[in-house]
Every structure is written in C-alpha cells, then in structure tokens.
Amino acid sequence: MAKSLDHLKELLGVVSDLGSAAAVLGWDQQTYMPPGGAGSRAMQLATLSRLAHTKFVSKELGEALELAKAEAEGMDPESDEFCLVRKTDRDYQKEVKVPSEWVGEFSRVTALAHQDWEKARAESNFSLFEPRLEKIVSLRREYASFFAPYDHVYDPLLDDFEPGMKAADVKSVFDTLRPRLIALVQAIAERGKPIDDAPLHQSFDEKKQWDFGVEVAKAIGYDFNRGRQDKAAHPFTTGFGTGDIRITTRFDPEFLNTALFGTMHEAGHAMYEQGVDPKLDRTPLATGTSLGMHESQSRMWENLVGRSKEFWSATFPRLQEFFPDQLGETDLGDFYRMINKVERSLIRVEADEATYDLHIMLRFELEISLMDGSLAVKDLPHAWNKKSEEFLGITPPDDADGVLQDIHWSGGMIGYFPTYSLGNLIAAQLWNKINDDIPELEKKIAKAEFGDLLAWLQKNIHRHGAKYEPLDLLKRATGQSLDAEPYLQYLERKFGEIYEL
C-alpha cells in the first residue's frame, strides 16, 4: 500500500533537486558571478524554474498525489506521510493554476532585475530600475489573476509567503501596532534620556568584523560544517538541502551594527533550516512553514538575544579584544544602550526595534497601492519619500537610501514584507514560552550558553519543517493564537527601562 506514496516522493525529489540547482545558481548570482553573466544566468534560471514547475504540475504527479491521498486516509494526522500529502496537495492546487511559461518568464525577468537593481542602487538612480520593476509588477498582477476571485489582489501574493494570511489580517495587525509604536517613539523623543552612539560610528576593520561575526554565529549554533558565509549586496539565506544552508552579510567600515546584527539575523534563518528533520529532505516539508515563522527565528536571534543585556555581558569583552582602540574604554551599560538607540532612520535593516515595524508598514501600503493600480511605478520614489515622512518623520536624500534600499522587489517578492512584522509578533510569543520552560534562560545567555535555547527551538519549531500551518505551529508551541500584545509589552518594557521613561 505504500507504493503510491513512495512514487509521489520520488517525483517530488526530482522537483526538489531542480529547485536546489536553481538556488545554487541564484546564490552564485548574488555572491560571485561576474556582471557579464547576467543574461545567460537569467535563461538558466528560467529553464530550471520552468522545468521544476512543469514536473510539479504534471499529470503524472497529479495522479500520484490522488493515489497517495487515498493511501493516507486513516494515517496518523501527525505523521510525516500524512502531512506531506496534505502540504503537497495544497501546493499542487495552487501551482496547477499557474502556467509554466509564466514561471519561466518571471524567473528570467527577476534574474535580470537583480543586476538592474544593484546598478540603480549604486548610482542612486531609480530610473535605471523602473522599466524592470514595471514588468515585475505587471507579472505579479497577472499572477494574482490566476486565483481570482479574491478578497484583495494582494491576497494570493501574501499567501505565497504566509499561507492563509490575507491583506485584511495584516492591516488589522498594523492597526493594533501603529498607535502604540508611534506613542513609544514620541515618548522617547520627548522624555527619553539621550543616547550618544558615536563609538559605533568609527573605523572598524572589515576582516575583524568578519571574524567576530563568524565567532558569534558559531557560538549561537550555526553549523559551518553544513553552511558558509559570503558577502552580498543585500544579506540573504539560502539552502540546497538540510546539509547545505548558506548565509551572507554585508559590511559598513564606519558602522559596527550592519554586519554584526546582519550575520545574527541570517544565522537565525539558517539554524531554522539546519534544524529541519533530515527525513523530510527533498520534499515540500523540508523548509520553514512560512516566512513569518522564519522571520521569528531571525529576529529572535538578532534582537531578543543579540540586543539583550545578558548576551553582551558575556560577549562584550571579546568584542573589545577585537576592537580595543574603538571600544576598549566603553562601558558595557553604555554599549547596551548604544545598540538599542531609538531614532527615526532611513534604512530598514539597520532600524531599531521600536521603529522597525513602521518601515514595514510603509512598504506594505506601497505594495497594496502598486498591486491595486492606484500607484504607478514611475511615481514610486515620490510616494516612498512622502510615506517616509509620514511614518518616520524623515525624508530620504536620494533613491539609494529610499526606494532602492531593499532587494525584495527586484526578486518579485511583493507580499514578503509583512512577514517581518509577523515574525516580530511570533518571536515575542515564543520567547515568553521559552522563558517559562527554561527559567534560567537569561543566566545561561549571560554565560554564552545557547544550547538549551537552540534545543527548545529545534524541538518545537525547526524539526517540523513545513509539516504544520504557521498559526497551527504557533499554537502547538505556545498554546496561543497570534497576538500583538506580548510584542508591544516587550518593546514598552525594554525601552521604558533604557530611556528611563
């Protein structure tokens, strides 16, 4: 009776292998590929993406899936096999609506768009990226049309990254967050004790930054035997199976935070993928259940661990050894306040925790407008600057620090940005539960002992891969539904203490 399921797994393994091959080419494109390779790489990625999609929506796989569904009836709903059939069926019912020709064209256009974005950002000239982005927006609208009718044109896009979530759900979350975040930021600006973070803005040798970041990544649990770190224009994590999960980072020679917290963020993503049960390899279950859950892991290690007093009580002396001239005379308490300084800033990936979600809301509203047609791509820089002033009280001086700062739109990832904020909410809920289950957690972190924390995450989140829907997994891990209150309380408590409000 298991033959149908075995056959399905064989077919899914081929699809997975094609996807992994494309991922290797994508990783190389953003790390080592010479600029002259862009045209050929775009065609290679288009071919692999089209082949993978064709294989997945094939009559053969569809028939194997139907037989496997019949075979799975009566199975333990918690079993890997039952969950695999359920997840494959969900993906198949969605992907079969999308023409393979569209998949190939989308892959080709976004591969070319990456180089256009890099050039436009380097020259701070949106017009160099505008034609390609117009094509991407058109393709994403076309993609949404494959799933009509829908409540909102944004819903099918968001569902790619956060299964089951709709634009109205995100709006509800942001309506809860926004007033209290704005009130917190205003209170800090008006009554908070000022923080001078000048020591973070000095000359920091790139090689030493690299070495310290690698040391931290190893310490928290990133396995370099199954991964590596490289440089990229915009940090990202990618994987080609649970035995090969790679991260990237970038450096600012005049600002310590960029590479350090970028490395911790990407290591959080990578440890999630490295923690997936190897038995799930080469199946649709061998990845995180959603980008919101993924971002909960990266934001947890970057912020709840990486920007905590406990983490730096153990790690700061080592950082001072790397940079004695810059930080040798800096007090630990002062350093902790510096890395948590709240200010209205331009760059999302370097934003403090209190203002970060305002950056996400800005992008969400722009994406909604792009998709419903109320905003033309050519007007995007002006709209970005206007919303930056509205949400953050600051106007970008140029396109590089404004509309061109993120890589996501060049990859066609419209619908991704809300998952960062969802990840913040999930991280706070998980953190409360972890502290309940590990009462000595703060003391362990203060001694640079991260094993119990990582083990909890591996047991309750990582090993399951995509077996469970994201909100189901959250409920299994915490006993709670998605809730913004723990996150807001965390921010208000932390920054109330730091700024003596």
**Residue 218 maps to which CATH number?**
1.10.1370.30
In which region does residue 248 sit, left (phi positive, over 0), alpha (psi from -120 to 50) or beta (all else)? Answer: beta
pLDDT at res. 77: 95
Tell me whether residue 157 is in a domain. no
Report the alpha-carbon distance of residue 393 to residue 168 in Å, rounded: 26
Nearest-5° angle of CA 434, CA 418, CA 310? 30
Tell me whether residue 468 is in a domain. yes
pLDDT at res. 3: 87
Are 234 and 339 in the same domain?
Answer: yes
Tell me whether residue 235 is in a domain. yes
Are 138 and 194 in the same domain?
Answer: no
Beta strand 229-231 with 245-249 is parallel
Tell me whether residue 319 is in a domain. yes
Q: What tokens does 197 get?
A: 């973070």
Query: What one-letter code names the amino acid at 81?
Result: E
Domain carrying residue 296? 167-498
| Structural domain ending residue among the three candidates 123, 149, 175 | 149
Are 132 and 221 in the same domain?
Answer: no
Tell me whether residue 273 is in a domain. yes
Tell me whether residue 156 is in a domain. no
How many angstroms separate the first and last alpha carbons of the chain? 65
Are 172 and 140 in the same domain?
Answer: no
Report the alpha-carbon distance of residue 120 to residue 326 in Å, rounded: 34
Report the alpha-carbon distance of residue 271 to residue 160 in Å, rounded: 22
Report the alpha-carbon distance of residue 106 to residue 451 in Å, rounded: 41
Cα Rg of the chain, angstroms: 22
Q: What tokens does 182 get?
A: 């704005």
How many structural domains does the chain have? 2
Tell me whether residue 81 is in a domain. yes
Are 209 and 109 in the same domain?
Answer: no
Active-site residue numbers? 266
Cβ atoms < 10 Å from Cβ of 111: 26
Are 275 and 357 in the same domain?
Answer: yes
Tokens 């996501």 belong to 408
Are 317 and 374 in the same domain?
Answer: yes
Cβ atoms < 10 Å from Cβ of 378: 13
Cis peptide before 149 (omega within 30 of 0): yes
121 phi/psi in degrees, rounded to 5: -70, -40
Are 307 and 422 in the same domain?
Answer: yes
Are 241 and 338 in the same domain?
Answer: yes
Are 181 and 128 in the same domain?
Answer: no
| Structural domain ending residue among the three candidates 81, 114, 149 | 149
**Helix locations, 196-308, DSSP H:** 206-220, 257-274, 291-299
Report the alpha-carbon distance of residue 307 to residue 489 in Å, rounded: 16
| Structural domain ending residue among the three candidates 149, 182, 211 | 149
Q: Is 319 exposed, middle or buried (0-12, 13-18, 19+ CB in 10 A)?
A: buried
Report the alpha-carbon distance of residue 88 to residue 150 in Å, rounded: 22
Report the alpha-carbon distance of residue 30 to residue 256 in Å, rounded: 23
Tell me whether residue 154 is in a domain. no
The pTM for the full model equals 0.96
> Which DSSP letter does residue 399 get?
S
Report the alpha-carbon distance of residue 287 to residue 278 in Å, rounded: 11
Q: Which residues of the chain have pLDDT under 70?
A: 1-2
Are 112 and 185 in the same domain?
Answer: no
Q: Are 257 and 350 in contact (CB under 8 A)?
A: yes
Residue 249, helix vs strand vs coil: strand
Are 79 and 196 in the same domain?
Answer: no
pLDDT at res. 1: 45
